[in-house]
A and B are shown apart, each in its own frame.
Chain A
Amino acid sequence: MSKKHFARYKLWIFFLLISPIISNAQQSDTPNIGNRKINSSNVQQTDTLDFGYRKMSIEDFNGASYTITAKELENIPATNLTNLLSGLVPGFFSVQNSGGTVDESADYWIRGRRTNAEGVLVLVDGQEREFGILSSREVASITILKDASVSALYGTRAANGIIMVTTKKGVIGKPSVEFSSQVINQQPVGLLTPVDGLTYATNYNEALRYDGRASSTLYSSHYLQQYRNGQGVNPEQYPDVNWFNDYYKKNSWVQRHNLSVSGGSEHTRYFINGGFLSQNGMFKTQPESSFSTNNATSRFNLRSNLEVDVTPTTLLSLDLYGWNDRQNRPGGDTFAAYTSLVSTPANAFPAYYVNNGQFIDQEGSIISGANDKIVAGNTLRSNPWALLNRNGYSTLNRIYGSFRAKLNQDLSIITRGLNASVILSMDSYSGSVTSRDKPFAYYQRTDFSSNQLIRTGNDGKMANSVADVSSQARNSLDLQLSYAKDFGKNNLSATTFYNQYEYDVQTSIPSRFQTIGYWAGYNFDHRYYVDFTGSYHGVYKFAPKDRFGFFPAVSAGWTVSNEKFFQPLSKVVNYFKLRSSYGLIGNQRGVAEFEYQTRLNATNGVYYFGNTMGAVNGYVEDILANPGLTWEKAEQLNIGANLRLLNNRLSYVVDYFKDTRRDMYMANNNVTSILGTVAAVNQNIGEMYSKGFEMMLSWNSSAGQLGYRLGATYSFTNNKTVKTGEVQEQYPWLVTTGYARGIRYGYESLGLFKTYDEIAASPQQTFSEVQPGDIKYRDINGDGLIDRNDQVPLGYGSVPSEFYGIHGGLSYRNFGLNFLFQGSGRVTQMLGGRAAFPFLSNGTMYEHQLDYWTPENTNASMPNISTVTSGANNTQVSSFWMRNSSYTRLKTLELFYQLPEKSLKNLFLNDVKVFASGYNLFVWSKGVSALDPEDLGNAGAMPLTRNVSLGLTAKF
């Protein structure tokens, strides 16, 4: 850890050490833990963990885990659960780089980027399933498992951590009906502001001058004068359209409603839940047709979780769950329409020409257009208005259904504590796009004194076809035998199971896994713990002899606070446990299937022979047999501690980890080209390790009517690649091995050239000819040339390696407030694409790009502008475009009011709450850009949104 970094951690260490003292000073007279409202806090860990294979008290678990109840997330107006965990859950890393659709999911990692084959095992009620789409109101808890202690049970499936989601179950009691309703307003944030027509034209002229183009190709002064005059100018001839403003909403609405019934009698318990979500779409489309072309979505979901005591010793659980949704889109697709809106220059063309009834095309045909609107356009760019309104529409229809049946038999008749169960899970998904695209003709009007327009394309009939059909199925079977018994102070527990799992995308051979696993736990007097977990596990993709492996882990714990010698301290320190785990597990992700065998791939039109040069087909060895191909190995160590102090009001959890990966499957560039292989050779050659720690501190208390809680999380990771397939380099600074995964390479900027003399006196830059105002790079190897050999590592990667959150809640009488500030650090993004370069792909320019270099503006923040961007000097990856994209966000905020119970007595209601809540409300960032700091490198996606909502929940 460098000095600079240490300085930053000092603050945190100080905070973590000092806070108990601060908290102590604030200690109130009433030592009880909060009141009911405070207890609904998600930061409170639940008492029991259900791993499917074993259910245990959290205090008996030696691994690194963290559980939140979904209660706190319920009212947050974000539509995907993956966005809600960072900052709240230590060890959870996420990046959200798009929004504005209901699928605004985040990319996420547990403990950062630990391998090149990323991906977390997500289990919903024990089956591998997506969790982001679940409604927060049907989720009971979300547990993050970070170390090897549980992952070992999954062999090669869970080396990057596990997210375990448990849905709600019914409890014995009379039916309880819970209703909730919420409206959400979504406002796009982090937007680029396109310039107006005059600004575009004058600056485009500047770019052409830089390119050395003849003056005849520039916008004429007469043309520019028309824009300056403004008044009385024909807007069809001199268009100035603010496309983004005119056709993208400043805000849009989402509504969510949910109804659940739960309860149970002696032999049956049930939880039934139904939800509805609809999103209006971000585009401003014109209601000219009977159909909508907006990107609107509606979704229904239904769940029924049932438990039946078939006999006094037999429990049958049956969970049914499904959803279907329908996403409407403009014909071209949402993203194409958005891109067109944000990048079309204001003066490109008007949205449409108003039909004067006399327009003819180049073939002399009379032109007509619906509602007297004739699509304007040219061959360089699509017309955004037409993409939204004249291009038809399509709908993505998805349907998903699943069930899980579990039969558990208590086998006490054989011996007490013995249990057997069978679990069968099946999921099926299918999706398809109904495409009703409609081709349209567009017209170019060059001569405004004539009625003749130049037509391109034809108005066509609306298509009606089904495309992008995809279907998936997952099946798993579990057979379990478990035994648990206490012999005095010796507590024993053992489980063994067989699992087979199949994931089938139905276009290739299903992925299949077989596992025999065990979990043997022992503790003495809840003081000394040792657990052995492991699996003998096979993966379909390897050679038969290499298919199975053994993946063990061991964990141990010591509850110091249960020791006699600790008793004097126990008034202050209520609970103190030290724990550790170590495991040798695998990661099969990313390893190509069946590559232990050669494959000849059929290639079409590979060459041409004969007098008429007819195409002939080929066969090429695109995979060379790679015998001994295997999974990546993960060696994972975790050391942690849990503490509760001061009448359990202060909780503290800390974990340190080291994760070493070997045999990482990656491209081996050290295979000599004289072998002549056509494709990159991938082998088990990589090695990297990551280390890090995460902490969680929370304080719950109350003073009279005032209840409050405050918590903080901090997660840090640092990884280093040790071996890769990289070939040795001529210069040490070109070597990427030894740096963090995902680090970028590029040139070191020395600012902008000021004069031709400076260029002449500087090393030769070899990308394109440079002029004053172009970026000057450092000649690292001192050979007088700026070329590939002068690239150096730049900054951090694009995924933060530091996350933190501060969350809290207050309640006073019937009012309450919850908030989460979330932030990240140690991250850099490269400004690129249209956010960096004006006129990219015939696009427009944005306001933040106006401060570019000219002989009159030599202190500019941007280099010269050009109409040619590919391969140019200024578009090389360099520190010039690097931005620190660490940020702090007010991620969630909720205010609520609980209606007094007295006032509800006559309404059959017993718990009514109204709330106002927000998601992604404010962001503070150092990165200099109009874009959101999480969006910087990805200017091509739909922008993130700020969501605010109003809602109510009621029980009766």
Chain B
Amino acid sequence: MKKYTILTCIALTFFSCRYMDEYPYDWAQPVDVFSMEQNYERPINQAYSYLTGGFDRINGSYLDAATDDGMSTLRNSSIHRLSRGFVNSSSPVESSWDASYKGIRQSLFVQKSLAEIDLVLNNKTSQDVINIKNTYSGEMYSLRAWYEFDLLRHYGGYPIINKYYNLGDPELSGIGRNSFKECVQNIISLCDSAVKYLDVAPVGAAGGFGRMTRGAALAIKAKTLIFAASPLFNQSGNGNPLTGYVGAGAADIKARWEEAALACAAVINLKTSSGAPAYSLHSDYSTLFTSSPNSEYIVFVGDAKSNNLENRQFPPTLSKTAGGGTVPTQEFADGFSLADGSTYVRNSSTNQYANRDPRFVATIGFDGSKYDTKTVFTHLGQGATNDGLNILTDRSTNTGYYLKKFLDLKVDFSKATPVTAFHLTPLIRLSDMLLLYAEAMNEAYGPDADPKGFGLSASAAVQRVRTRAGFTGSDKYLQGVTSIPAMRDKIKQERRIELSFEEQRYFDLRRWLDGSTLAKPVTGINIEITNGVTTNTYFTVDALRKFDTRMYLHPIPLQETMISPKIVQNPGW
């Protein structure tokens, strides 16, 4: 019997009903995060992380490399499939679907958790905590508005998600696309909610630069209304409520432009608590994009100081390991006016780069252009370098130009520790707002009228942008422009130059129904120096550029339409 006692003892020692109960207590649950002072801001930060843009947007290129402005030097980059129309709903190349819905989920998760979970903060009253929660909730409304706006400009109507869902919620399978109109209304109401909770000045440490503010919410609203008023979504005879307004008449369209103008004016005229304008144009166009903080950015993608952009976009002789990336086309270079504001006409002159729009040298690296103390040569023949046309695979220019915009020219990779710079990717900045305002005012009231007393006519808004760029009072750009269509063309051209490579043109050409521009081959320049004689030859860089009517809107990812029959595909895809 003694043996059984021993056995039983051993059994009791090892056998335990709690043997498998150990659990990873370091797995944070929502309550662990939102109730603790050191954690609760982190999921809020996370909600910002789905903002995208910049030089590595599509496989090493700016999105603008899929417009007539740019070309990627990366031989096998998928951006070429986008610009050449080799896309379909199962591999669309450009899609904002997943990132937007991730951002929306995170924002909704934050709003739900802030509302449900008690938070106590050191040295703060419960009213303080309510205010803090309201501000953060306001930021989440703004982010949701931006993510939804991004869906709107890609797809037209999209499925509106206004609620936090658990995995496997049966409601999900019943959700289909909302109409374009409902989506616009939803974004506007999100922006209005954000405006209610947010102040003009951001909260947070170190100035909070980059956080959503009242101005950001107003700007997203204005931008949404501009899209809503644009030709793409107001096509006569449209019977599909998903892709735009149905039965939009001239009066409806005018009313939409008026509404948009009002919304843009609200941003331009926004004042801080001290009465100063909330936003103002940065003094120098060439340093704007490497400045933090600056007075011009309204919504942008924050990023740490780095020189990755320079490494990608510098000419190869200046880059550390790469070079090239996205380069401008001849068509884009030709688009810059002369220094007096008159139109540039392509000629065979050897100093075609002189006497141009002051933004030309800030935007384009051309043969003989200065990069800080160094000179870059893109020509072939005598004195050719690795920066010459098509010298190095993937790294040398294939158009004869480099993109100089956004670069900090002080970055010097020959130094042991090259400096780093700010590279904040603008999503909405004041120039954009001014030009959108000009567009809306022109469409609603004509080039020079200001009947509502916003303080600025369409042409005055454009001129404000050009004046900052360095044009003086004798600027001929808008001289003699009196009709709405003539002004429209000038605004379009000004947007192309001022907002180049900021992902504006890709969507502008679509909302203006100017897709045919994207179907034209793009051109480059081959400069050859032989025996001291320079010859310029223009050549086709990409003859495969293509645009179909269906490309005005992007294909909804195939798998979404396959999973849910209620998510209807866009026409033609």
Residues of A at under 8 Å CB distance from B?
A: 208, 211-214, 216-217, 409, 420, 422, 477, 479, 498, 500, 508-510, 512-514, 538-540, 544, 547, 593-594, 597-603, 605-621, 624-626, 669-678, 681, 727-730, 734, 764, 766-768, 785, 787-789, 867-868, 870-872
Contacts and interface: CB of A to CB of B under 8 A. Distances in A.
17 contacts: A213-B393, A214-B388, A216-B391, A422-B10, A500-B14, A514-B19, A597-B29, A617-B42, A617-B45, A618-B49, A619-B39, A670-B563, A676-B101, A676-B104, A787-B88, A789-B90, A868-B76
Given A214-B388, A214-B391, A608-B210, A613 B27 contact: no
A613 B207 contact: no
B49 A607 contact: yes
Contact of B562 (A216, A514, A727, A872): A727
B77 interface: yes
B384 A619 contact: no
B189 to A, nearest CB: 19
B75 A768 contact: yes
A804 to B, nearest CB: 41
A539 B20 CA distance: 7
Nearest to B21: A544
A787 B15 CA distance: 60
Nearest to B202: A609
B351 interface: no
Given A606-B49, A620-B43, A600 B33 contact: yes
Contacts of B210: 608-610, 613
A426 to B, nearest CB: 12
Given A217-B391, A607-B302, A612-B292, A477 B14 contact: yes
B161 A600 contact: no
Interface in B113-148: none
B410 to A, nearest CB: 17
B284 interface: no
Interface stretch (B78-86, B223-231, B369-377, B484-492): B78-86
B230 to A, nearest CB: 25
B11 interface: yes
Interface stretch (B165-173, B450-458, B515-523): B165-173
A668 B173 CA distance: 15
B511 interface: no
B109 interface: yes
Contacts of B173: 672
B390 A214 contact: yes
Grouping DSSP codes into helix (H, G, I), strand (E, B) and loop, the B interface class, with mixed when no group exceeds half, is loop
B249 to A, nearest CB: 33
A729 B166 CA distance: 26
Given A422-B10, A608-B302, A609-B211, A867 B393 contact: yes
A547 B20 contact: yes
B303 interface: yes
Interface stretch (B274-282, B437-445, B553-561): B553-561
A409 B10 CA distance: 15
B167 A624 contact: yes
Contacts, number: 230
Nearest to B321: A379
A509 B26 CA distance: 11
Given A214-B390, A608-B302, A611-B293, A676 B161 contact: yes
Nearest to A728: B562
A613 B45 contact: no
Interface string B79-100: 0110010101111000001100
Nearest to B78: A871
Contacts of B103: 676
Contacts of B101: 673-676
A512 B209 CA distance: 50
B86 A785 contact: yes
A519 B81 CA distance: 63
B140 to A, nearest CB: 13
A730 B573 CA distance: 11
Contacts of B32: 600
Nearest to A869: B76
Contact of A621 (B78, B84, B109): B109
B354 interface: no
Q: Which of A540, A597, A611, A787 has the most CB of B within 10 A?
A: A611
Contact of B46 (A213, A603, A625): A603
Contacts of A620: 43, 46, 106
A670 B562 CA distance: 9
B229 to A, nearest CB: 27
B204 A594 contact: no
B422 interface: yes
Interface string B247-285: 000000000000000000000000000000000000000
B28 interface: yes
B380 interface: yes
B1 to A, nearest CB: 10
A540 B28 contact: no
B419 interface: no
B551 interface: no
Nearest to A420: B7
B205 A610 contact: yes
B533 interface: no
A612 B23 CA distance: 40
A512 B20 contact: yes
Contacts of A618: 42-43, 45-46, 49
B42 A479 contact: no
A593 B207 CA distance: 42
B231 to A, nearest CB: 28
A672 B563 contact: yes
B206 A626 contact: no
Q: Which of A603, A613, A621 has the most CB of B within 10 A?
A: A613
Contact of A609 (B27, B206, B380): B206
Contacts of B166: 624-625
B550 interface: no
Given A603-B46, A613-B305, A868 B75 contact: yes
A670 B167 CA distance: 12
